Amino acid sequence: MLDSTLIDKVTQIAHQAGEAIMEIYQRDFAVYEKSDESPLTEADLAAHNCIVNGLQAISDLPILSEESANIPWSERQTWDKYWLVDPLDGTKEFIKKNGEFTVNIALIDKGEPVFGVVFAPVLKQTYVGVLGQGAYKLEGDNRTAISPKIKSEDEEWRVVGSRSHQSPDIQALLAKLGGEPELVAMGSSLKLCLVAEGAAHLYPRLGPTSEWDTGAADAVVRAAGGKVTIIESATNVFDEHAKPLSYNQKESVLNPYFLVSC
């Protein structure tokens, strides 16, 4: 059982990071290029500093953030429990100013995401999930419990896809589902949250992601009653024996392909 005070404090840290992001979002900002050629902005670093300082004030656990990811495997493999952070997921969406970016903080315990907070500052939406304790969505003062939606026979599939990273395999998957499936385009970790709250049935990820991209929203999905499972083959995404996505179990922080479902 995770303490409600800790849940509230981490949620507050995510909101504070979101405020730091919004200060920069509302003005001109500098964009840099990281070593992997992905974009980095002042906002990523501001949110990173806010989250790290906040977590260190309330916890002694190690922190792995996208903006401080050069921690050697020899050290990381000794961690049983740690914070996994993406200070600003959806940097491309941030630069485009379409609002579909998030602050992400996850607690990982023995490779499993057990607690996650996903905050979308522009949308003013917060998703919180605690494994074994459920998941909910915050909008202002409103708190609503969330859960995935099982597709009924008389409705079409609603499938979440990336706004910035479309994969040719997605079209093949949509054709395989039959009927006239609807592709819901969305940026950042909000894609997983749409399945968690029942706004979509599936989110197949047939492209590259890193563990910090998914950790917090993965926790929300699992706490809500959904699944995030590994796709071994793009031609077999509905494997009933598929294993759940795991974290910090190997030297690389890259995720395999995965499917988010109920």
What is the C-alpha to C-alpha distance for residues 59 and 174, in angstroms, rounded to an integer?
44
Average pLDDT over residues 150-178: 81
pLDDT of residue 38: 58
Q: Please give the model's pTM, rounded to 2 decimal places.
A: 0.93
- Under CATH, which architecture does the 4-146 domain have? 2-Layer Sandwich (3.30)
Is 90 annotated as ligand-binding? yes
Q: Which position has the token pair 């929300």?
A: 220
pLDDT of residue 24: 86
pLDDT of residue 36: 58
Indicate if the pLDDT at residue 166 is higher than 60.
Answer: no
pLDDT of residue 27: 81
Average pLDDT over residues 3-7: 96
Indicate if the pLDDT at residue 131 is higher than 80.
Answer: yes
**Domain ranges across the chain:** 4-146, 158-261
Is 183 annotated as ligand-binding? no
pLDDT of residue 33: 64
Q: Which tokens is 90 given?
A: 């959806």
Contact call for residues 184 and 92 (beta carbons, < 8 A): no
Q: Which tokens is 220 given?
A: 């929300």
* Cα R_g (the chain), whole angstroms: 17
pLDDT of residue 213: 97
Is 88 annotated as ligand-binding? yes
pLDDT of residue 177: 86
Q: Which residue has the higher pLDDT, 99 or 130?
A: 130
Average pLDDT over residues 233-262: 91
Partnered with residue 260 across adjacent β-strands are 203, 228
* Amino acid sitting at position 190: L
Give me the percent of the chain exceeding a pLDDT of 90. 69
pLDDT of residue 179: 87
Is 91 annotated as ligand-binding? yes
Indicate if the pLDDT at residue 13 is higher than 60.
Answer: yes
pLDDT of residue 229: 97
Query: CB within 8 A of 245, min separation 6: which ones?
Result: 214, 218, 228, 229, 230, 255, 256, 258
Is 89 annotated as ligand-binding? yes
Task: Give the model confidence (pLDDT) of 59-92 as tens digits.
Answer: 999 999 998 999 999 999 999 999 999 999 987 8
Query: CB within 8 A of 22, min separation 6: which ones?
Result: 121, 122
Q: Which tokens is 209 given?
A: 């992601």
Q: Do domains 4-146 and 158-261 have the same CATH topology?
A: no
Total residue length of the chain: 262
Output the CATH code of domain 158-261: 3.40.190.80
